[in-house]
Amino acid sequence: MNTERAPITDSRADVLRGLCGGAVHLPGDAAFDEARMPWNLQVDARPTAVAYPAFPSEVADVIRAAASVGLRIAPQGTGHGAPPLAGRLEDAVLLRTSAMTDLNIDAGRRTARVGAGIRWGDVVERAGRANLAARHTTSPGVGVVGSSLGGGLSWYARIGGLQCSALTAVEIVLADGTFVRATDHQDSDLLWAARGGGGGFGVVTALEFDLLPVRRVTAGMLAWDWKHSHRVLAAWAEFAESAPESVTTIARLLQAPDASWLPTDVRNRRLVVVDAVISGDPTGAERTLALLRALRPELDTFAEVPAATAARLHLDPEAPTAVYANSVIVDAFPVDAVDALIAAAGPGSGSELMFVELRQLGGALSRPAPRPGALDRMDGSVLVLCVGNDTGEGWSAVRAQVARVTAALQPWARGSTYLLMADERADARSGWPAASLERLVDLRTAVDPNGMFVTPHPTAGQV
């Protein structure tokens, strides 16, 4: 991240000095560059100020002070989701909620209450001690709040739906500084919006959600040299189409970096990989895996393990790094789609993308959730996610390689977007059903009439 540019100062931000117990950083302050740094180091965020509130009352103080001088608020917990905000923070206070680390697991009720600074790894570990599982992301370093507000794909999505549908309460500070605890019985519109609406209604300080009664799973990874990409992905597509809902898989074309966080048998190699988490009877899981194992993988790590171990199954980097990502949802993944994908990103393509992964959808994801929400399902059969880093040719080359993949898959694309996996600003109309988007716009207008909050993917009337 470039930190050499002269800081952009805005005297209006002086009103924030002394708030949050002094945990406010303005351009020119010694800690400003570190404070503004997101998880994705590709992004050079330039907010007017960075504030670290530890309590809802401190959030309210920052909101009121910012509003008094015409500044906006960009909530951010763990630093994820920063790319779509690039270039839009010059008149905004970056409000980092990472100090809000309350975490409570109620084993009897099978629920969790988490502060806005909690990451999924913390929840998974604590829930696992109570023989419970969370609908967590594939990376333990991702924040719970941001991923929940945007939807939340997990290893249990095909049996448990989106994480946002598990929300039972949201605690939020609104644009006028008032604190609200929204449930299905009080301020229910705000809870509806929190279930996949992507934020932008206030600053979420805590969430409550249901956990799953899952103690152990069959989980692991199969890997082949990527010269076998076509036959493996074709077999995976056939497998995924008929797999029981207890199975969630992710297939990947992986060009692994020579990085210390990767296992030695994966590091600095080109592989085709299938990860999976299978709930239920281990004997049934072994039968389910037979089709893929018949392809004779070079590496097979599948075993019956505590559910909490799935948090690190996918080998995602946890430390801040510089990447660019985008995705496309497809209705089907026939052999022609396999051909198109490999031509764009597989052996012989010239692609240098770190990975292109195929996330199996369907099951509970394709049905309306029992609880109403802005995003209560995810149609399509596969979400294709492309992630690349700058290997020396610049970020424009990475973007071009990602665009090549997504363009190649357009014949099978739904036209909808999973906004959590879109580093570019996307048209909000592709992120929600039309009725949900209309309700979101009306609700944002009602609770934030002056456009106080900056969101990654603005709806109508936002900037």
pLDDT tens, position by position, 303-351: 999 999 999 999 988 888 889 999 999 999 999 999 999 999 999 999 9
Does residue 303 sit in the same domain as residue 379? Answer: yes
Average pLDDT value for residue range 180-208: 97
Whether the pLDDT of residue 2 is over 50: the answer is no
Cβ atoms of 92 and 205 closer than 8 Å = no
**Which of 96, 114, 146 represents a domain boundary (last residue)?**
96
Average pLDDT value for residue range 228-232: 97
Write down the mean pLDDT value for the chain. 93
CATH code: domain of residue 158: 3.30.465.10
Does residue 191 sit in the same domain as residue 316? Answer: no
Does residue 282 sit in the same domain as residue 363? Answer: yes
pLDDT-derived band of residue 393, with 50, 70 and 90 as boundaries?
A: confident
Number of folded domains in the chain?
3
* pLDDT value for 182: 98
pLDDT-derived band of residue 1, with 50, 70 and 90 as boundaries?
A: very low
Comparing 132 with 462, the larger pLDDT belongs to 132
pLDDT tens, position by position, 52-74: 999 999 999 999 999 999 999 99
Regarding beta strands 92-96 and 72-76, do their DSSP bridges make them parallel or antiparallel, or are they unpaired? parallel
Residue 456 resides in a domain: no
* pLDDT value for 40: 81
Whether the pLDDT of residue 38 is over 70: the answer is yes
**Which of 34, 62, 96 represents a domain boundary (last residue)?**
96
Whether the pLDDT of residue 409 is over 90: the answer is yes
Block residue for tokens 């990767």: 262
* pLDDT value for 335: 97
* pLDDT value for 29: 94
pTM summary value: 0.94
Buried b (16+ CB within 10 A) or exposed e, 148-185: bbbbbbbbbbbbbbbbbbbbbbbbbbbbebeebbbeee
Whether the pLDDT of residue 448 is over 70: the answer is yes
Does residue 252 sit in the same domain as residue 392? Answer: yes
CATH code: domain of residue 290: 3.40.462.20
Average pLDDT value for residue range 166-172: 98
User: Any idea how long the chain is?
Assistant: 463
Whether the pLDDT of residue 201 is over 80: the answer is yes
Domain containing 323: what range? 216-421
* pLDDT value for 86: 77
Does residue 357 sit in the same domain as residue 314? Answer: yes
Does residue 243 sit in the same domain as residue 382? Answer: yes
pLDDT tens, position by position, 232-278: 999 999 999 999 999 999 999 999 999 988 999 999 999 999 999 99
Average pLDDT value for residue range 178-206: 97
pLDDT-derived band of residue 27, with 50, 70 and 90 as boundaries?
A: very high
Residue 461 resides in a domain: no
Half-sphere exposure of 306 (CA within 13 A, CB side): 13
CATH code: domain of residue 89: 3.30.43.10
Does residue 271 sit in the same domain as residue 364? Answer: yes
* pLDDT value for 88: 82
Does residue 209 sit in the same domain as residue 78? Answer: no
* pLDDT value for 107: 98
* pLDDT value for 3: 45
